[in-house]
Amino acid sequence: MQVPARIDNWIDGSSRPARSGSVMDVVDPATGARVCSMAAAGAADVADAQAAAARAFVAWGARPAAERAELLDRLADLVERNLERLATLESIDSGKPLALARSVDIPRAASNLRFFAEAVRAWQPDEEYRTAHAHSRVIRRPAGVAGCISPWNLPLYLFTWKIAPALAAGCTVVAKPSEETPMTAAALGELSAEAGFPAGVLNVVHGRGPECGAAVVAHPSIPVITFTGGTETGARIMQTAGPMFKRVALELGGKNPTIVFEDADFEAALSGAVRAGFQNQGQICLCGSRVLVQRGIYERFRDAFVERVRALRVGDPLEAGTEQGSLVSQAHQTKVSAAVERARAEGGRVLCGGRAPDAAALPERVRGGAYWLPTVIDGLPMGCATNQEEIFGPVVTIQPFDDDREAVALANQSTFGLAANVWTGSHARGMAVAERLEFGIVWINAWLLRDLRVPFGGVKRSGVGREGGDEALRFFTEPKSVTWPA
Ligand code: NDP
């Protein structure tokens, strides 16, 4: 697999190093080895990208939606044609199993592009209203240059989830992927030229969050900011963007419950809880990291859960059959390790995992990697830090509840409110529980089941605004009301 020797910014239809000449290392977390270097962009590069995007906006924003959709479809075709290359880059960059990148991340990136192509073709942005006295038309026009900032856990998947609706709606884009995982976003910049996107429509700037990301947020002529990442970073973004009156959507962290009732299909709930807890090494904002199980089946479920988790195959992300790859970085592994130590100090009982794997148990190629064994902990109250703070790694707590009321109370005992998954044999019970859960997303007998038309996002410290479907298209447009006498 050819990893590029250097990753540069993609500005105005061509690759450019940072104006300052600064570079940083890109590391494969599964091996600990440096794989290439990357431009470390700053405010001057962001200004270049914004200027290119502003020039391109004049024509792009005026182009018929069907033509923009056509280009998004062509880009989706290219993502699919490059599936193997993109999946491998994603795996090397993030440590996730290649099989997961191949079956989930990259196909879903293509489907994001296709979905918004289709959505904008069908979209009727303008509205008409009449009363006895007045006739009004609401016209929606693209908002201008959009700043799209995305995280490392699902790199191309979440990058496209932001840029696709922005481009479909007629915005041009300055996008900033995470410095941990720049490779597929860089590849997408180049593929956008191959698809026929005009120069300046999609610009990608690489670099550190507090420099490059912060410059995107602070630029006075980037009026729309969409951000996915940590809650603390989201708060910082609001502090800058708020006084500038920018439109901001924030998709932030989660501490999500998996709720298993006694009447659930035991096997389906078990598989669902393992997948929800540990897919992508638990590094998905939607992961169910607090498993709540009704008391009548608690011990049986807990024991079966631990057995399944212990059996997850931890190994080289590039090898077929690996179910758990490396964490995204050594620094993140240190954070996860500290969180597990804190859980022990809080009185938690580690039922499996709780440490990095022995080097000898790993294939030689990845012995320097940022690994952590999938970990299950019981015996902790809901109020403790382990159950309140996001760990964003392969660490799940499990605890019993008595009835529906207690399940809902425990689930809602969180400052986050992103996603819950509920397992029950009764759809009516699932719906009744869903009504009372303080979360933006609830799955019944499922996890990460997507319909891209429905609003996606959280409440409380999990964010502001919703992505997905027409919500996203509306976000990237500015309405204007025109009224005249009837
Ligand atoms: P961060 O908040 O650290 O980073 C997210 C992005 O913001 C990265 O591109 C980062 O750049 C950039 N960034 C960092 N600091 C700033 C700043 N001051 N101004 C502007 N941009 C900045 O999150 P992680 O990448 O660590 O991702 C993990 C977090 O994301 C978790 O909390 C997780 O729950 C959340 N998340 C939420 C999702 C949702 O949909 N709600 C989905 C996926 C993740 P750099 O990496 O270069 O520092």
CA distance 41 to 176: 10
CB of residue 149 inside a 6 A radius of ligand 1: yes
Its CATH class, for the domain covering 6-252+462-485, is alpha beta
CB of residue 213 inside a 6 A radius of ligand 1: yes
- The residue ranges of every structural domain in the chain are 6-252+462-485, 256-451
CB atoms within 10 A of CB 244: 14
Instruction: Tell me the per-residue pLDDT of 188-226, one tens digit each, with 9 for 90 and over.
Output: 999 999 999 999 999 999 999 999 999 999 999 999 999
- 245 contacts: CB under 8 Å, gap ≥ 6: none
**Cα dist. 361→315, 358, 365 in Å?**
9, 5, 12
Token pair belonging to 58: 């004049």
How large is the average pLDDT for residues 434-439? 98
Ligand 1 pocket, mutate which of 112, 149, 160 (most atoms under 8 A from CB): 149
Catalytic residue among 180, 211, 251, 467: 251
Q: Which atom of ligand 1 is nearest to the CA of 179?
A: 47
CA distance 198 to 212: 24
180 part of the active site = no
Average pLDDT over the chain, rounded to an integer: 97
CA of 233 to the centre of ligand 1 (A): 7
Instruction: Tell me the per-residue pLDDT of 406-433, one tens digit each, with 9 for 90 and over.
Output: 999 999 999 999 999 999 999 999 999 9
At 378 the three-state DSSP class reads strand
Catalytic residue among 285, 287, 352, 467: 285
At 343 the three-state DSSP class reads helix
Contact in structure between 242 and 405 (CB atoms under 8 Å): no
pLDDT given for residue 1 in this prediction: 59
CA distance 115 to 91: 24
Instruction: Tell me the per-residue pLDDT of 223-279, one tens digit each, with 9 for 90 and over.
Output: 999 999 999 999 999 999 999 999 999 999 999 999 999 999 999 999 999 999 999
CA distance 469 to 315: 37
- Whose Cα sits closest to atom 9 in ligand 1? 178
- 406 contacts: CB under 8 Å, gap ≥ 6: none
- Whose Cα sits closest to atom 34 in ligand 1? 253
Place of tokens 């009004």: 136
CA distance 240 to 395: 33
Instruction: Tell me the per-residue pLDDT of 117-146, one tens digit each, with 9 for 90 and over.
Output: 999 999 999 999 999 999 999 999 999 999
Q: Which atom of ligand 1 is nearest to the CA of 229?
A: 30
Contact in structure between 318 and 91 (CB atoms under 8 Å): yes
Instruction: Name the burial class of residue 405, with classes exposed (0-12), middle (13-18) and buried (19+) by CB atoms within 10 angstroms of its CB.
Output: exposed
319 part of the active site = no
Contact in structure between 239 and 402 (CB atoms under 8 Å): no
Q: Decide yes or no: CATH 3.40.190.10 for domain 256-451.
A: no
CA of 213 to the centre of ligand 1 (A): 10
CA of 4 to the centre of ligand 1 (A): 24
* % of the chain exceeding 90 in pLDDT: 99
